[in-house]
Chains A and B, each alone.
Chain A
Protein backbone atom coordinates (compact mmCIF):
# COMPACT_ATOMS: atom_id res chain seq x y z
CA UNK A 1 0.00 0.00 0.00
CA UNK A 2 2.75 2.32 0.93
CA UNK A 3 4.81 1.30 -2.01
CA UNK A 4 2.31 2.59 -4.50
CA UNK A 5 3.23 6.02 -3.27
CA UNK A 6 6.39 5.95 -5.28
CA UNK A 7 4.91 6.24 -8.77
CA UNK A 8 2.58 8.90 -7.46
CA UNK A 9 5.57 10.85 -6.34
CA UNK A 10 7.39 10.44 -9.59
CA UNK A 11 4.38 11.59 -11.55
CA UNK A 12 4.13 14.57 -9.25
CA UNK A 13 7.79 15.20 -9.77
CA UNK A 14 7.50 15.05 -13.50
CA UNK A 15 4.58 17.46 -13.29
CA UNK A 16 6.56 19.86 -11.12
CA UNK A 17 9.51 19.54 -13.42
CA UNK A 18 7.39 20.22 -16.48
CA UNK A 19 5.81 23.18 -14.73
CA UNK A 20 9.13 24.89 -14.08
CA UNK A 21 10.11 24.18 -17.62
CA UNK A 22 12.66 21.45 -17.20
CA UNK A 23 11.94 18.59 -19.51
CA UNK A 24 13.47 15.16 -19.38
CA UNK A 25 17.14 14.57 -20.05
CA UNK A 26 18.29 17.39 -22.28
CA UNK A 27 20.20 16.99 -25.50
CA UNK A 28 23.95 16.97 -25.33
CA UNK A 29 25.83 19.90 -26.81
CA UNK A 30 28.75 17.63 -27.56
CA UNK A 31 29.21 16.63 -31.19
CA UNK A 32 32.11 14.23 -30.88
CA UNK A 33 31.52 10.50 -30.78
CA UNK A 34 32.23 8.60 -27.57
CA UNK A 35 35.24 6.95 -29.23
CA UNK A 36 36.66 10.38 -30.03
CA UNK A 37 36.12 11.56 -26.50
CA UNK A 38 37.86 8.48 -25.12
CA UNK A 39 40.67 9.19 -27.56
CA UNK A 40 40.95 12.80 -26.40
CA UNK A 41 40.91 11.73 -22.77
CA UNK A 42 44.10 9.72 -23.15
CA UNK A 43 46.86 11.05 -20.96
CA UNK A 44 44.64 13.47 -19.04
CA UNK A 45 44.70 13.88 -15.28
CA UNK A 46 41.32 14.16 -13.60
CA UNK A 47 41.18 15.96 -10.26
CA UNK A 48 38.21 14.34 -8.62
CA UNK A 49 37.01 16.36 -5.66
CA UNK A 50 35.24 13.98 -3.34
CA UNK A 51 34.47 13.88 0.36
CA UNK A 52 37.41 12.03 1.93
CA UNK A 53 36.07 11.10 5.33
CA UNK A 54 35.78 7.38 4.76
CA UNK A 55 38.81 5.19 4.19
CA UNK A 56 36.76 2.58 2.34
CA UNK A 57 35.38 5.11 -0.10
CA UNK A 58 38.87 6.52 -0.56
CA UNK A 59 40.21 3.06 -1.38
CA UNK A 60 37.36 2.52 -3.80
CA UNK A 61 38.18 5.76 -5.58
CA UNK A 62 41.82 4.69 -5.67
CA UNK A 63 40.69 1.43 -7.29
CA UNK A 64 38.70 3.41 -9.88
CA UNK A 65 41.89 5.36 -10.55
CA UNK A 66 43.86 2.18 -11.20
CA UNK A 67 41.19 0.87 -13.54
CA UNK A 68 40.83 3.96 -15.73
CA UNK A 69 44.60 4.36 -15.81
CA UNK A 70 44.92 0.86 -17.16
CA UNK A 71 42.03 1.03 -19.60
CA UNK A 72 41.99 4.63 -20.78
CA UNK A 73 45.36 6.04 -19.65
CA UNK A 74 43.48 8.57 -17.57
CA UNK A 75 45.04 9.46 -14.23
CA UNK A 76 42.68 10.12 -11.33
CA UNK A 77 43.78 12.29 -8.43
CA UNK A 78 41.43 12.14 -5.49
CA UNK A 79 41.20 15.57 -3.88
CA UNK A 80 39.93 14.61 -0.45
CA UNK A 81 37.47 17.15 0.82
CA UNK A 82 36.23 17.62 4.35
CA UNK A 83 33.16 19.27 2.82
CA UNK A 84 31.89 19.29 -0.75
CA UNK A 85 31.31 23.02 -0.34
CA UNK A 86 35.10 23.48 -0.48
CA UNK A 87 35.05 22.43 -4.13
CA UNK A 88 32.00 24.58 -4.84
CA UNK A 89 33.90 27.49 -3.26
CA UNK A 90 36.87 26.88 -5.46
CA UNK A 91 34.83 26.85 -8.68
CA UNK A 92 33.05 29.98 -7.50
CA UNK A 93 36.35 31.72 -6.78
CA UNK A 94 37.60 30.75 -10.22
CA UNK A 95 34.58 32.26 -11.84
CA UNK A 96 34.87 35.37 -9.69
CA UNK A 97 38.42 35.69 -11.01
CA UNK A 98 37.23 35.21 -14.59
CA UNK A 99 38.86 31.84 -15.08
CA UNK A 100 36.64 30.30 -17.74
CA UNK A 101 38.87 27.37 -18.56
CA UNK A 102 41.73 25.45 -17.02
CA UNK A 103 39.91 25.20 -13.70
CA UNK A 104 41.31 23.14 -10.87
CA UNK A 105 38.30 20.86 -10.38
CA UNK A 106 37.47 18.27 -13.04
CA UNK A 107 34.91 16.11 -11.31
CA UNK A 108 32.85 16.61 -8.15
CA UNK A 109 30.99 14.07 -6.06
CA UNK A 110 27.79 15.94 -5.48
CA UNK A 111 24.05 15.89 -4.93
CA UNK A 112 21.14 17.78 -3.46
CA UNK A 113 21.56 21.36 -2.45
CA UNK A 114 25.14 21.66 -3.69
CA UNK A 115 24.02 20.48 -7.11
CA UNK A 116 20.98 22.73 -7.10
CA UNK A 117 23.18 25.72 -6.27
CA UNK A 118 25.85 24.95 -8.86
CA UNK A 119 23.28 24.28 -11.52
CA UNK A 120 21.36 27.41 -10.68
CA UNK A 121 24.54 29.49 -10.83
CA UNK A 122 25.56 27.86 -14.14
CA UNK A 123 28.73 26.51 -12.60
CA UNK A 124 28.40 23.12 -14.30
CA UNK A 125 29.45 21.66 -17.61
CA UNK A 126 26.80 19.90 -19.61
CA UNK A 127 24.39 18.47 -20.26
CA UNK A 128 26.65 15.47 -20.70
CA UNK A 129 25.04 12.31 -19.35
CA UNK A 130 23.48 11.34 -22.70
CA UNK A 131 26.96 11.03 -24.13
CA UNK A 132 27.94 8.34 -21.61
CA UNK A 133 27.26 4.81 -22.91
CA UNK A 134 26.57 3.46 -19.43
CA UNK A 135 23.91 6.08 -18.71
CA UNK A 136 21.42 3.94 -20.64
CA UNK A 137 21.78 1.20 -18.01
CA UNK A 138 20.50 3.40 -15.20
CA UNK A 139 17.22 2.43 -13.56
CA UNK A 140 15.12 5.53 -14.21
CA UNK A 141 11.94 3.56 -13.64
CA UNK A 142 12.29 2.46 -10.03
CA UNK A 143 14.96 4.96 -9.09
CA UNK A 144 13.46 8.28 -10.17
CA UNK A 145 15.93 10.17 -8.01
CA UNK A 146 18.57 9.36 -10.64
CA UNK A 147 16.92 12.04 -12.78
CA UNK A 148 15.49 14.33 -10.16
CA UNK A 149 17.92 15.26 -7.41
CA UNK A 150 16.10 16.63 -4.36
CA UNK A 151 13.23 17.57 -6.70
CA UNK A 152 15.66 19.45 -8.95
CA UNK A 153 15.83 17.88 -12.44
CA UNK A 154 19.39 16.82 -13.20
CA UNK A 155 18.95 17.76 -16.88
CA UNK A 156 22.05 15.81 -17.74
CA UNK A 157 24.34 17.96 -15.59
CA UNK A 158 25.26 15.14 -13.21
CA UNK A 159 25.74 11.43 -13.73
CA UNK A 160 24.19 9.06 -11.17
CA UNK A 161 26.75 7.16 -9.11
CA UNK A 162 25.06 5.53 -6.15
CA UNK A 163 21.88 5.18 -4.13
CA UNK A 164 21.63 6.22 -0.52
CA UNK A 165 18.81 5.48 1.88
CA UNK A 166 18.31 6.56 5.43
CA UNK A 167 18.54 3.68 7.88
CA UNK A 168 19.16 3.24 11.56
CA UNK A 169 21.90 1.24 13.25
CA UNK A 170 21.44 -0.14 16.76
CA UNK A 171 23.31 -2.40 19.08
CA UNK A 172 21.29 -5.58 19.35
CA UNK A 173 23.12 -6.45 22.56
CA UNK A 174 21.35 -3.58 24.29
CA UNK A 175 18.20 -3.00 22.23
CA UNK A 176 15.98 -6.00 21.72
CA UNK A 177 13.15 -4.48 19.72
CA UNK A 178 14.10 -1.36 17.82
CA UNK A 179 11.34 1.14 17.04
CA UNK A 180 9.97 0.85 13.51
CA UNK A 181 8.21 4.18 13.15
CA UNK A 182 8.77 7.78 14.07
CA UNK A 183 6.05 7.49 16.71
CA UNK A 184 7.63 4.39 18.22
CA UNK A 185 10.99 6.10 18.25
CA UNK A 186 9.57 8.75 20.57
CA UNK A 187 8.13 6.11 22.87
CA UNK A 188 11.44 4.27 22.86
CA UNK A 189 13.34 7.46 23.67
CA UNK A 190 10.99 8.12 26.60
CA UNK A 191 11.66 4.64 27.91
CA UNK A 192 15.43 4.99 27.32
CA UNK A 193 16.28 8.61 28.07
CA UNK A 194 19.65 9.82 26.87
CA UNK A 195 20.17 6.91 24.48
CA UNK A 196 19.25 8.51 21.17
CA UNK A 197 20.22 11.67 19.31
CA UNK A 198 20.72 12.92 15.79
CA UNK A 199 23.56 14.93 14.17
CA UNK A 200 23.22 18.65 14.50
CA UNK A 201 21.58 20.31 11.50
CA UNK A 202 22.80 21.54 9.01
CA UNK A 203 24.75 18.27 8.94
CA UNK A 204 23.06 16.38 6.12
CA UNK A 205 22.18 13.32 8.22
CA UNK A 206 20.64 15.50 10.91
CA UNK A 207 18.69 17.38 8.28
CA UNK A 208 17.60 14.08 6.78
CA UNK A 209 16.23 13.01 10.14
CA UNK A 210 14.18 16.22 10.25
CA UNK A 211 12.92 15.51 6.72
CA UNK A 212 12.01 11.97 7.71
CA UNK A 213 9.91 13.18 10.64
CA UNK A 214 8.44 15.95 8.50
CA UNK A 215 7.36 13.60 5.73
CA UNK A 216 6.00 11.01 8.08
CA UNK A 217 3.97 13.44 10.20
CA UNK A 218 3.01 16.20 7.76
CA UNK A 219 -0.71 16.44 7.08
CA UNK A 220 -0.19 16.51 3.34
CA UNK A 221 3.27 15.23 2.37
CA UNK A 222 2.67 15.61 -1.36
CA UNK A 223 3.04 19.37 -0.99
CA UNK A 224 6.60 18.81 0.16
CA UNK A 225 7.60 17.92 -3.37
CA UNK A 226 6.83 21.43 -4.57
CA UNK A 227 8.41 24.68 -3.54
CA UNK A 228 7.21 26.41 -0.39
CA UNK A 229 4.23 28.59 -1.25
CA UNK A 230 3.76 30.71 1.85
CA UNK A 231 4.45 30.93 5.57
CA UNK A 232 1.08 29.51 6.53
CA UNK A 233 1.82 26.40 4.53
CA UNK A 234 5.17 25.93 6.30
CA UNK A 235 3.50 26.53 9.64
CA UNK A 236 0.81 23.96 8.91
CA UNK A 237 3.08 21.30 7.47
CA UNK A 238 5.82 21.62 10.06
CA UNK A 239 3.69 21.93 13.19
CA UNK A 240 3.68 18.15 13.84
CA UNK A 241 7.46 18.11 13.38
CA UNK A 242 8.01 20.76 16.06
CA UNK A 243 5.54 19.14 18.42
CA UNK A 244 7.38 15.87 17.92
CA UNK A 245 10.80 17.36 18.52
CA UNK A 246 9.58 19.31 21.54
CA UNK A 247 8.45 16.02 22.99
CA UNK A 248 11.56 14.10 21.91
CA UNK A 249 14.39 16.47 22.86
CA UNK A 250 14.20 16.12 26.66
CA UNK A 251 14.84 12.42 26.21
CA UNK A 252 17.77 12.76 23.86
CA UNK A 253 21.45 12.34 24.67
CA UNK A 254 22.56 15.36 26.77
CA UNK A 255 18.85 16.17 27.06
CA UNK A 256 18.92 17.60 23.55
CA UNK A 257 21.13 20.49 24.62
CA UNK A 258 23.95 19.52 22.32
CA UNK A 259 24.13 17.25 19.33
CA UNK A 260 26.90 15.22 17.68
CA UNK A 261 28.74 16.97 14.86
CA UNK A 262 28.07 14.42 12.15
CA UNK A 263 26.95 10.92 11.31
CA UNK A 264 30.42 9.46 11.93
CA UNK A 265 30.59 11.25 15.26
CA UNK A 266 27.28 9.72 16.24
CA UNK A 267 28.42 6.27 15.12
CA UNK A 268 31.40 6.74 17.43
CA UNK A 269 28.97 7.52 20.28
CA UNK A 270 27.17 4.25 19.56
CA UNK A 271 30.45 2.35 19.69
CA UNK A 272 31.41 4.14 22.91
CA UNK A 273 28.13 3.06 24.45
CA UNK A 274 26.96 6.64 24.98
CA UNK A 275 23.87 6.00 22.85
CA UNK A 276 22.09 2.97 21.41
CA UNK A 277 20.88 4.08 17.99
CA UNK A 278 22.58 5.98 15.19
CA UNK A 279 21.65 7.03 11.66
CA UNK A 280 23.25 6.17 8.37
CA UNK A 281 22.77 6.75 4.68
CA UNK A 282 24.39 3.52 3.47
CA UNK A 283 22.34 0.39 4.01
CA UNK A 284 25.52 -1.61 4.48
CA UNK A 285 27.27 0.81 6.82
CA UNK A 286 26.69 -1.40 9.87
CA UNK A 287 28.31 -4.40 8.19
CA UNK A 288 31.31 -2.57 6.91
CA UNK A 289 31.72 -0.73 10.22
CA UNK A 290 31.74 -4.09 12.02
CA UNK A 291 34.23 -5.50 9.51
CA UNK A 292 36.32 -2.40 9.99
CA UNK A 293 36.31 -2.58 13.79
CA UNK A 294 34.24 0.56 14.17
CA UNK A 295 31.10 -1.01 15.62
CA UNK A 296 30.48 -4.07 17.80
CA UNK A 297 29.62 -7.32 16.04
CA UNK A 298 26.15 -7.05 17.55
CA UNK A 299 25.29 -3.93 15.51
CA UNK A 300 22.25 -4.32 13.28
CA UNK A 301 20.25 -2.21 10.87
CA UNK A 302 16.57 -1.26 10.90
CA UNK A 303 14.34 0.94 8.78
CA UNK A 304 10.91 2.45 9.38
CA UNK A 305 7.80 0.71 8.21
CA UNK A 306 6.44 3.68 6.28
CA UNK A 307 9.68 3.96 4.38
CA UNK A 308 12.74 6.14 4.73
CA UNK A 309 14.20 8.94 2.67
CA UNK A 310 16.37 7.89 -0.21
CA UNK A 311 18.34 9.81 -2.75
CA UNK A 312 20.97 9.44 -5.39
CA UNK A 313 24.46 10.80 -5.35
CA UNK A 314 26.11 11.88 -8.55
CA UNK A 315 29.28 13.13 -10.17
CA UNK A 316 29.27 16.45 -12.00
CA UNK A 317 31.82 18.42 -14.05
CA UNK A 318 32.44 22.14 -13.39
CA UNK A 319 31.98 24.55 -16.31
CA UNK A 320 35.70 25.32 -16.43
CA UNK A 321 37.10 21.83 -15.90
CA UNK A 322 40.50 21.22 -17.50
CA UNK A 323 40.17 17.53 -18.26
CA UNK A 324 36.56 17.37 -19.45
CA UNK A 325 37.09 14.27 -21.58
CA UNK A 326 38.89 12.47 -18.80
CA UNK A 327 36.12 13.41 -16.38
CA UNK A 328 33.53 12.02 -18.82
CA UNK A 329 35.47 8.78 -19.07
CA UNK A 330 35.61 8.46 -15.28
CA UNK A 331 31.92 9.33 -14.89
CA UNK A 332 31.06 6.68 -17.43
CA UNK A 333 33.32 4.07 -15.86
CA UNK A 334 31.93 4.47 -12.35
CA UNK A 335 28.42 4.07 -13.78
CA UNK A 336 29.34 0.75 -15.43
CA UNK A 337 28.27 -2.64 -14.11
CA UNK A 338 31.73 -3.68 -12.97
CA UNK A 339 32.41 -0.54 -10.95
CA UNK A 340 28.87 -0.47 -9.60
CA UNK A 341 29.03 -4.09 -8.46
CA UNK A 342 32.37 -3.53 -6.81
CA UNK A 343 30.94 -0.52 -5.03
CA UNK A 344 27.89 -2.42 -3.79
CA UNK A 345 30.07 -5.06 -2.14
CA UNK A 346 29.73 -4.33 1.58
CA UNK A 347 33.32 -5.43 2.04
CA UNK A 348 34.35 -2.63 -0.30
CA UNK A 349 31.89 0.18 0.30
CA UNK A 350 28.33 -1.16 0.27
CA UNK A 351 26.76 1.62 -1.76
CA UNK A 352 23.71 0.52 -3.74
CA UNK A 353 23.79 0.54 -7.49
CA UNK A 354 21.95 3.01 -9.71
CA UNK A 355 21.65 0.45 -12.50
CA UNK A 356 18.60 -1.53 -13.57
CA UNK A 357 19.33 -5.25 -13.37
CA UNK A 358 16.96 -5.81 -16.29
CA UNK A 359 19.14 -3.69 -18.57
CA UNK A 360 22.30 -5.64 -17.78
CA UNK A 361 23.82 -8.60 -19.57
CA UNK A 362 23.54 -11.90 -17.66
CA UNK A 363 27.22 -11.99 -16.74
CA UNK A 364 26.94 -8.45 -15.42
CA UNK A 365 23.87 -9.36 -13.38
CA UNK A 366 25.86 -12.24 -11.91
CA UNK A 367 28.39 -9.77 -10.53
CA UNK A 368 25.63 -8.36 -8.35
CA UNK A 369 24.04 -11.68 -7.49
CA UNK A 370 27.36 -13.02 -6.26
CA UNK A 371 27.94 -10.21 -3.77
CA UNK A 372 28.35 -11.46 -0.20
CA UNK A 373 25.47 -10.83 2.16
CA UNK A 374 26.42 -9.59 5.60
CA UNK A 375 24.38 -10.22 8.74
CA UNK A 376 24.09 -6.58 9.68
CA UNK A 377 22.82 -5.51 6.27
CA UNK A 378 19.16 -5.78 5.38
CA UNK A 379 18.31 -7.59 2.18
CA UNK A 380 17.16 -5.21 -0.58
CA UNK A 381 13.60 -6.40 -0.08
CA UNK A 382 13.68 -5.60 3.61
CA UNK A 383 14.83 -2.04 3.11
CA UNK A 384 11.27 -0.81 2.81
CA UNK A 385 9.85 1.92 0.61
CA UNK A 386 11.93 4.88 -0.44
CA UNK A 387 10.57 8.33 0.34
CA UNK A 388 11.66 11.16 -1.91
CA UNK A 389 13.55 14.19 -0.71
CA UNK A 390 11.36 17.25 -0.19
CA UNK A 391 11.94 20.37 -2.29
CA UNK A 392 15.06 22.22 -1.05
CA UNK A 393 13.00 25.32 -0.20
CA UNK A 394 11.36 23.35 2.58
CA UNK A 395 14.61 22.44 4.16
CA UNK A 396 15.89 25.99 4.05
CA UNK A 397 12.86 26.99 6.12
CA UNK A 398 12.94 23.96 8.40
CA UNK A 399 16.66 24.32 9.12
CA UNK A 400 16.27 28.00 9.95
CA UNK A 401 13.32 27.26 12.22
CA UNK A 402 15.24 24.45 13.89
CA UNK A 403 18.08 26.86 14.63
CA UNK A 404 15.61 29.39 16.02
CA UNK A 405 13.89 26.85 18.23
CA UNK A 406 16.68 24.64 19.51
CA UNK A 407 19.95 26.47 19.01
CA UNK A 408 19.21 28.66 22.03
Chain B
Protein backbone atom coordinates (compact mmCIF):
# COMPACT_ATOMS: atom_id res chain seq x y z
CA UNK B 1 0.00 0.00 0.00
CA UNK B 2 1.38 3.31 -0.94
CA UNK B 3 0.22 5.19 2.04
CA UNK B 4 2.61 7.63 3.57
CA UNK B 5 3.88 6.41 6.84
CA UNK B 6 7.34 7.62 7.54
CA UNK B 7 7.65 5.48 10.58
CA UNK B 8 7.45 2.29 8.58
CA UNK B 9 10.76 0.55 8.71
CA UNK B 10 10.94 -1.18 5.38
CA UNK B 11 10.47 -0.19 1.80
CA UNK B 12 11.19 2.86 -0.26
CA UNK B 13 9.48 6.00 0.86
CA UNK B 14 9.36 9.33 -0.92
CA UNK B 15 8.19 12.25 1.14
CA UNK B 16 7.27 15.56 -0.52
CA UNK B 17 9.79 15.05 -3.26
CA UNK B 18 10.10 17.86 -5.78
CA UNK B 19 12.39 18.46 -8.71
CA UNK B 20 13.11 21.90 -10.10
CA UNK B 21 15.61 23.57 -12.34
CA UNK B 22 18.70 24.73 -10.55
CA UNK B 23 19.55 27.85 -12.46
CA UNK B 24 19.36 29.48 -15.84
CA UNK B 25 16.49 31.27 -17.53
CA UNK B 26 13.95 28.91 -16.01
CA UNK B 27 15.68 28.85 -12.67
CA UNK B 28 13.71 27.57 -9.78
CA UNK B 29 10.86 26.33 -11.94
CA UNK B 30 9.40 23.19 -10.52
CA UNK B 31 9.13 20.37 -13.03
CA UNK B 32 7.86 17.57 -10.83
CA UNK B 33 6.12 17.11 -7.59
CA UNK B 34 5.60 17.23 -4.85
CA UNK B 35 5.34 13.45 -4.83
CA UNK B 36 4.93 11.33 -1.79
CA UNK B 37 4.64 7.60 -1.96
CA UNK B 38 5.62 4.39 -0.30
CA UNK B 39 6.81 1.24 -1.95
CA UNK B 40 6.69 -1.67 0.49
CA UNK B 41 9.13 -4.57 0.08
CA UNK B 42 8.13 -6.97 -2.66
CA UNK B 43 5.57 -4.59 -4.09
CA UNK B 44 5.69 -2.88 -7.48
CA UNK B 45 4.43 0.68 -7.66
CA UNK B 46 3.91 2.05 -11.14
CA UNK B 47 4.36 5.68 -12.07
CA UNK B 48 2.77 6.52 -15.37
CA UNK B 49 2.86 9.63 -17.44
CA UNK B 50 3.57 11.08 -20.85
CA UNK B 51 7.16 11.49 -21.97
CA UNK B 52 8.82 14.60 -20.65
CA UNK B 53 6.81 14.72 -17.43
CA UNK B 54 9.87 14.09 -15.31
CA UNK B 55 9.43 10.37 -14.60
CA UNK B 56 12.99 9.57 -15.48
CA UNK B 57 14.23 12.51 -13.43
CA UNK B 58 12.39 11.11 -10.47
CA UNK B 59 14.27 7.84 -10.82
CA UNK B 60 17.55 9.72 -11.30
CA UNK B 61 16.84 11.63 -8.10
CA UNK B 62 16.32 8.42 -6.19
CA UNK B 63 19.50 6.96 -7.64
CA UNK B 64 21.46 10.10 -6.92
CA UNK B 65 22.31 10.72 -10.57
CA UNK B 66 20.06 13.70 -11.15
CA UNK B 67 21.47 16.00 -13.84
CA UNK B 68 23.32 18.84 -12.13
CA UNK B 69 21.04 21.33 -13.86
CA UNK B 70 18.20 20.01 -11.70
CA UNK B 71 17.76 20.02 -7.96
CA UNK B 72 15.61 17.78 -5.89
CA UNK B 73 14.11 18.29 -2.48
CA UNK B 74 12.16 16.18 -0.03
CA UNK B 75 13.12 13.02 1.73
CA UNK B 76 13.96 9.64 0.27
CA UNK B 77 13.90 6.89 2.81
CA UNK B 78 15.12 3.39 2.20
CA UNK B 79 14.35 0.96 4.98
CA UNK B 80 13.97 3.84 7.37
CA UNK B 81 17.11 5.70 6.46
CA UNK B 82 17.27 8.95 4.50
CA UNK B 83 19.57 8.17 1.60
CA UNK B 84 19.52 11.61 -0.07
CA UNK B 85 22.92 12.70 1.27
CA UNK B 86 24.58 9.57 -0.02
CA UNK B 87 26.45 9.28 -3.33
CA UNK B 88 24.75 6.97 -5.80
CA UNK B 89 27.13 4.08 -5.28
CA UNK B 90 26.23 3.89 -1.59
CA UNK B 91 22.46 3.97 -1.97
CA UNK B 92 22.00 0.30 -2.92
CA UNK B 93 19.38 1.08 -5.47
CA UNK B 94 19.39 -0.94 -8.66
CA UNK B 95 18.10 0.49 -11.91
CA UNK B 96 17.18 -1.01 -15.28
CA UNK B 97 16.74 1.09 -18.40
CA UNK B 98 15.00 0.23 -21.64
CA UNK B 99 18.46 -0.52 -23.06
CA UNK B 100 20.35 -3.28 -21.33
CA UNK B 101 23.52 -1.13 -21.14
CA UNK B 102 25.73 -4.16 -20.75
CA UNK B 103 29.34 -2.98 -20.88
CA UNK B 104 30.58 -3.94 -24.33
CA UNK B 105 34.17 -4.30 -23.20
CA UNK B 106 33.33 -7.00 -20.67
CA UNK B 107 32.07 -10.54 -21.14
CA UNK B 108 28.74 -11.65 -19.70
CA UNK B 109 30.52 -12.88 -16.59
CA UNK B 110 32.58 -9.69 -16.48
CA UNK B 111 29.41 -7.64 -16.45
CA UNK B 112 27.94 -9.72 -13.65
CA UNK B 113 31.19 -9.58 -11.68
CA UNK B 114 31.11 -5.81 -12.03
CA UNK B 115 27.79 -5.81 -10.20
CA UNK B 116 28.81 -8.30 -7.52
CA UNK B 117 29.66 -6.53 -4.24
CA UNK B 118 33.28 -6.36 -3.26
CA UNK B 119 32.38 -7.95 0.04
CA UNK B 120 32.05 -11.31 -1.63
CA UNK B 121 35.69 -12.39 -1.63
CA UNK B 122 37.59 -15.12 -3.36
CA UNK B 123 37.69 -15.90 -7.04
CA UNK B 124 35.97 -19.20 -6.57
CA UNK B 125 33.14 -17.79 -4.50
CA UNK B 126 32.49 -14.96 -6.95
CA UNK B 127 32.55 -17.33 -9.86
CA UNK B 128 30.16 -19.71 -8.15
CA UNK B 129 27.78 -16.90 -7.41
CA UNK B 130 27.77 -15.76 -11.02
CA UNK B 131 27.38 -19.28 -12.36
CA UNK B 132 24.50 -19.92 -10.02
CA UNK B 133 22.77 -16.76 -11.14
CA UNK B 134 23.27 -17.64 -14.80
CA UNK B 135 22.04 -21.18 -14.27
CA UNK B 136 18.96 -19.96 -12.54
CA UNK B 137 18.20 -17.75 -15.56
CA UNK B 138 18.96 -20.49 -18.09
CA UNK B 139 22.02 -18.60 -19.29
CA UNK B 140 24.76 -20.97 -18.17
CA UNK B 141 26.18 -21.36 -21.63
CA UNK B 142 26.87 -17.67 -21.96
CA UNK B 143 29.38 -17.21 -19.15
CA UNK B 144 32.28 -16.18 -21.39
CA UNK B 145 30.28 -14.66 -24.20
CA UNK B 146 30.52 -11.18 -25.57
CA UNK B 147 27.19 -9.55 -24.63
CA UNK B 148 26.83 -8.13 -28.14
CA UNK B 149 26.42 -11.68 -29.46
CA UNK B 150 23.38 -12.35 -27.29
CA UNK B 151 19.76 -11.96 -28.30
CA UNK B 152 17.75 -9.03 -26.98
CA UNK B 153 15.91 -11.17 -24.44
CA UNK B 154 19.10 -12.77 -23.19
CA UNK B 155 20.76 -9.41 -22.82
CA UNK B 156 17.82 -8.04 -20.89
CA UNK B 157 18.00 -10.98 -18.48
CA UNK B 158 21.74 -10.54 -17.99
CA UNK B 159 21.15 -6.88 -17.25
CA UNK B 160 18.61 -7.79 -14.57
CA UNK B 161 20.94 -10.40 -13.11
CA UNK B 162 23.73 -7.86 -12.98
CA UNK B 163 21.50 -5.50 -11.02
CA UNK B 164 20.25 -8.21 -8.68
CA UNK B 165 23.77 -9.48 -8.01
CA UNK B 166 24.71 -6.03 -6.75
CA UNK B 167 22.33 -6.80 -3.87
CA UNK B 168 20.15 -3.72 -4.17
CA UNK B 169 17.67 -2.81 -1.46
CA UNK B 170 15.27 -1.36 -3.98
CA UNK B 171 14.72 -1.70 -7.70
CA UNK B 172 13.91 1.06 -10.17
CA UNK B 173 12.64 0.20 -13.62
CA UNK B 174 12.82 2.88 -16.33
CA UNK B 175 10.61 1.41 -19.08
CA UNK B 176 12.78 -1.69 -19.20
CA UNK B 177 10.33 -3.54 -21.44
CA UNK B 178 9.76 -0.88 -24.06
CA UNK B 179 12.31 -2.13 -26.54
CA UNK B 180 11.48 -5.81 -26.37
CA UNK B 181 9.09 -7.36 -28.82
CA UNK B 182 5.68 -8.35 -27.54
CA UNK B 183 6.27 -12.07 -26.99
CA UNK B 184 9.49 -11.44 -25.17
CA UNK B 185 8.08 -8.57 -23.20
CA UNK B 186 5.59 -10.68 -21.28
CA UNK B 187 8.14 -13.25 -20.35
CA UNK B 188 10.75 -10.75 -19.29
CA UNK B 189 8.18 -8.79 -17.33
CA UNK B 190 7.26 -11.74 -15.21
CA UNK B 191 10.94 -12.66 -14.94
CA UNK B 192 11.65 -9.24 -13.46
CA UNK B 193 8.63 -9.06 -11.21
CA UNK B 194 9.10 -12.62 -9.96
CA UNK B 195 12.67 -11.91 -9.03
CA UNK B 196 11.82 -8.61 -7.41
CA UNK B 197 9.10 -10.19 -5.33
CA UNK B 198 11.17 -13.21 -4.48
CA UNK B 199 13.88 -10.97 -3.12
CA UNK B 200 11.38 -8.72 -1.40
CA UNK B 201 12.56 -5.63 -3.22
CA UNK B 202 10.51 -2.48 -3.18
CA UNK B 203 10.17 -1.81 -6.91
CA UNK B 204 9.29 1.43 -8.63
CA UNK B 205 8.30 1.08 -12.27
CA UNK B 206 8.13 4.03 -14.60
CA UNK B 207 6.30 3.46 -17.86
CA UNK B 208 3.75 4.79 -20.27
CA UNK B 209 2.58 1.35 -21.27
CA UNK B 210 -0.65 0.46 -19.41
CA UNK B 211 0.17 -3.21 -19.99
CA UNK B 212 3.24 -2.87 -17.81
CA UNK B 213 1.18 -1.32 -15.07
CA UNK B 214 -1.47 -3.99 -15.32
CA UNK B 215 1.09 -6.74 -15.15
CA UNK B 216 2.81 -5.13 -12.19
CA UNK B 217 -0.49 -5.42 -10.39
CA UNK B 218 0.44 -2.84 -7.83
CA UNK B 219 -0.64 0.70 -7.04
CA UNK B 220 -0.46 3.30 -9.79
CA UNK B 221 0.42 6.94 -9.80
CA UNK B 222 -0.35 9.15 -12.78
CA UNK B 223 1.76 12.22 -13.54
CA UNK B 224 0.51 14.78 -16.04
CA UNK B 225 2.55 16.70 -18.55
CA UNK B 226 3.25 19.47 -16.03
CA UNK B 227 4.69 17.05 -13.53
CA UNK B 228 1.69 17.11 -11.26
CA UNK B 229 0.11 14.07 -9.82
CA UNK B 230 -3.07 13.98 -11.78
CA UNK B 231 -4.57 10.71 -10.84
CA UNK B 232 -4.06 8.11 -8.22
CA UNK B 233 -4.68 7.78 -4.64
CA UNK B 234 -4.88 10.55 -2.23
CA UNK B 235 -1.91 10.10 -0.04
CA UNK B 236 -2.73 11.90 3.10
CA UNK B 237 -3.92 15.29 4.21
CA UNK B 238 -0.72 17.08 3.48
CA UNK B 239 -0.10 15.40 0.23
CA UNK B 240 -3.00 16.32 -1.92
CA UNK B 241 -2.17 15.71 -5.53
CA UNK B 242 -1.89 18.78 -7.66
CA UNK B 243 -1.49 21.23 -4.82
CA UNK B 244 1.15 23.16 -6.62
CA UNK B 245 1.54 26.70 -5.49
Q: Do chains A and B touch in the complex (CB under 8 A)?
A: no
A interface vs B, CB < 8 Å? none
